[in-house]
């Protein structure tokens, strides 16, 4: 499945297009609901991407917004159809909705910027490390632990090994390197894996050493960019009191006024962290100190 066929990305593009069209028409959500004899909550859910839209509803909105060109209508209807398709991970069981959305967005992104305080980002984990941190999530999803590991490993394959892999920039707190999840051997393997990934031209790793002090009070987050312009950027927040993958307590932000502060925060973090060369050397140093 290509980026353009990804249902999560299709929903993202669709809701941005519909919000923009409504704004250009100088209509409020209340006016749209009144004109189409819909409930206000239906309009809000459509624009937030929390409900699957029928082609009939799509055509009604486009008519109201004056979008009548055959090419524009065809493109948006195609996105609506893609948005209703079944994701590849659904075959393994029911994934919590917010994390399911994240998986799709991650797969379609052209750039991923991670800030992690507690664990190595999932895309960069070894299988042994992933198994060691899974119990901390207190799995409550219908997807069992083995399926969750399968999904994580397949995510890595589909994102990291595709023909046009995204630019990945990760700022890792020093604690993620020194916390021996799964034992010393597992942690050492994970650190060597990071060093190998850091040699790839599209993967940029920086370590935030303890000596840098406390830079931000934000939870772990990911800024995702897409090849459709910065207005499509999305932030996914991971809350430290649970695993968002299984508890669904993560949060997706996709409005520019919500995303911009996280772009700025990430820029500040990269300035405070060790540069890439020093970071890889530091990771190697920590790996050598593990006993």
The string of pLDDT tens digits covering residues 174-226 is: 999 999 989 999 999 999 999 999 999 999 999 999 999 888 877 899 999 99
Q: Once rounded to an integer, what is the mean pLDDT over residues 13-27?
A: 94
Quick: pLDDT tens for 108-127. 999 999 999 899 999 999 99
- Same domain for 40 and 114: no
Which pLDDT band, with edges at 50, 70 and 90, does 98 fall under? confident
Quick: pLDDT tens for 217-254. 778 999 999 999 888 999 999 865 444 444 456 788 99
- Same domain for 198 and 166: yes
Identify whether the C-beta of residue 95 lies closer than 8 Å to the C-beta of residue 151. yes
- Same domain for 17 and 151: no
Last residue of a domain, one of 53, 85, 117: 85
**What CATH number should be reported for the domain holding residue 30?**
1.10.260.40
- Same domain for 123 and 60: no
Last residue of a domain, one of 85, 120, 138: 85
- Same domain for 135 and 62: no
Identify whether the C-beta of residue 167 lies closer than 8 Å to the C-beta of residue 204. yes
- Same domain for 150 and 120: yes
**What CATH number should be reported for the domain holding residue 112?**
3.30.870.10
Q: Quote the pTM value.
A: 0.89
Task: Give pLDDT, residue 250.
Answer: 77
- Same domain for 56 and 37: yes
- Same domain for 283 and 199: yes
- Same domain for 163 and 100: yes
- Same domain for 188 and 281: yes
- Same domain for 151 and 279: yes
Last residue of a domain, one of 50, 85, 120: 85
- Same domain for 195 and 104: yes
Domain span at residue 42? Answer: 3-85
Q: Once rounded to an integer, what is the mean pLDDT over residues 18-41?
A: 96
179: left (phi over 0), alpha (psi -120 to 50) or beta: beta
Domain count within the chain: 2
- Token pair, residue 138, equals 């207190």
């Amino acid at each position: 499945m290509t980026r353009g066929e990804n249902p999560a990305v299709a929903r993202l593009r669709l809701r941005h297009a519909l919000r923009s069209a409504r704004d250009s028409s100088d209509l409020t959500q209340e006016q749209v609901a009144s004109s189409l004899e819909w409930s206000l909550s239906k309009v809000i859910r459509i624009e937030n991407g929390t409900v699957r839209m029928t082609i009939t509803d799509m055509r009604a909105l486009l008519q109201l917004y004056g979008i009548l060109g055959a090419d524009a209508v065809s493109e948006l209807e195609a996105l609506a159809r893609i948005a209703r398709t079944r994701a590849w991970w659904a075959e393994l069981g029911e994934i919590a909705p917010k994390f399911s959305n994240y998986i799709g967005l991650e797969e379609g992104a052209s750039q991923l910027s991670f800030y992690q305080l507690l664990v190595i980002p999932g895309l960069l984990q070894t299988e042994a490390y992933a198994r060691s941190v899974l119990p901390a999530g207190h799995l409550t999803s219908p997807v069992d632990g083995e399926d969750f590991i399968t999904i994580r490993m397949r995510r890595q394959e589909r994102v990291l090994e595709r023909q046009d892999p995204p630019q990945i920039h990760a700022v890792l707190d020093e604690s993620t390197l020194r916390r021996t999840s799964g034992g010393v051997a597992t942690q050492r393997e994970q650190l060597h894996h990071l060093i190998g990934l850091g040699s790839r031209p599209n993967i940029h790793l920086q370590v935030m050493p303890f000596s840098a002090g406390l830079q931000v009070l934000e939870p772990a987050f990911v800024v995702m960019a897409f090849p459709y312009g910065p207005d499509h950027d999305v932030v996914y927040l991971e809350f430290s009191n649970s695993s968002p993958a299984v508890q669904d307590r993560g949060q997706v932000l996709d409005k520019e006024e919500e995303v911009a502060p996280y772009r700025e925060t990430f820029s500040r973090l990269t300035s405070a962290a060790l540069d890439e060369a020093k970071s890889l050397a530091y990771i190697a140093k920590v790996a050598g100190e593990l006993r």
